[in-house]
Copies of this chain bind each other. A is one copy, B any other.
Amino acid sequence: MLKAERHQHILNEVSIRSRIQLSDIAESLGVSIDTIRRDVKELDDKNKLKKVHGGALSLGYNVFPFSNSEVFNKEMKAHIAQKAIGLIKENAVILMSGGTTNLELARLLPTNLDITVFTPSLPIAMQLLAHPKADVILIGGKISKNAQLAIGAQVVQELSNIKADLCFLGTGYLDLEHGLTEFDYEVVQVKKAMIQSARRTVSLCISEKLNSVQRFKTCDIQDIDVLITELPPEADMLMPYKSFNVNLI
């Protein structure tokens, strides 16, 4: 492997994860840690990243909308995302909605996984640029500035032509009685269409948002196939959800 390639790989990795550990990189590229250390030093000298003890950090001003500090419950979301990754099989066709939990999922996606991702979300698409093996298809339309995703009839129409294996739904609010709800009506339209366009729907939801309701309804709980939270599947809080024939993870 050429030095220049390692440099690209390192920069790429830093861009995706916003941080790296020298030991991880060394292992994944199969070179000594000294070599990586020297690479990172060189990149630091060129102001491409910030070297720190044990690793390196991205220089703050990256393209991503949600800089690290702005994502609430980041560890929790990463934990959920990690569980979700287990559901993804090689060559899967996946639908991803927006939201920071899904963004975390995109960030943590193993770079060696060969998949096709359809998404109307700008941040998700940006994030996946860094995954060389992921085919990314952006579903275009009018952009909702709040949700940072494409909305409108065009998106719904586009989705109707797709049948994906899996849909990852970053869920706003989840309640036993009212199901999945959202603040934004247009976003609901898109999510409804996404559920229709996938064989299985996986909802990623931090427990904080369980039992909370918003104005517009996306679907009932029984319409989702898998519910992933950061809690262990046996948690008391989740018990009521079992009755809906939903897989808890």
Query: Which residues of A come within 8 Å of B, CB atoms?
Result: 2-5, 8, 11-12, 15, 19, 21, 47-48, 50, 52-55, 57, 59, 61-70, 120, 122-123, 125-126, 128-130, 132, 135-143, 145, 148, 150, 158
Copies of this chain, whole number:
2
Most B C-beta atoms less than 10 A away, residue of A5, A52, A63:
A63
CB distance from A9 to the nearest CB of B (A): 9
Contacts of A12 in B (CB 8 A): 63-64
Determine which of B68, B123, B137, B148 lies in contact with A140 in the assembled complex, contact meaning CB atoms within 8 Å: B137
A144 to chain B, nearest CB (A): 9
Known A141-B137, A142-B136; contact A62-B8, beta-carbon cutoff 8 A:
yes
Q: Which chain B residue has the least Cβ–Cβ distance from A131?
A: B145
- The answer to whether A126 touches B8, judged by C-beta atoms less than 8 angstroms apart, is no
Per the bound structure, the CA–CA distance linking A42 and B82 in Å amounts to 35
Enumerate chain B residues within 8 angstroms of A55, measured Cβ to Cβ: 2, 4
List B contacts of A66 (CB < 8 A): 63
Give the docked Cα–Cα distance between A120 and B68 (Å).
Answer: 25
- Chain B residue at smallest Cβ distance from A143: B136
Question: Are A122 and B126 interface neighbours, CB within 8 A?
Answer: yes
Whether the pair B122, A138 counts as a contact (CB closer than 8 A) is yes
Given A4-B53, A8-B57, 17 extra CB contacts under 8 A: A2-B19, A2-B54, A3-B52, A8-B63, A48-B68, A61-B67, A63-B66, A63-B67, A63-B129, A122-B126, A123-B126, A129-B143, A129-B145, A135-B142, A138-B143, A140-B141, A140-B158
Asked whether A48 lies within 8 Å of B69 as measured between CB atoms, the reply is: yes
Question: How far, in Å, is A118 (CB) from chain B's closest CB?
Answer: 9
Residues of B within 8 A of A70 (CB): 48
Q: Once bound together, how far apart are the Cα atoms of A65 and B126, in whole Å?
A: 8
The residue from B19, B52, B129, B150 contacting A65, defined by CB atoms under 8 A apart? B129
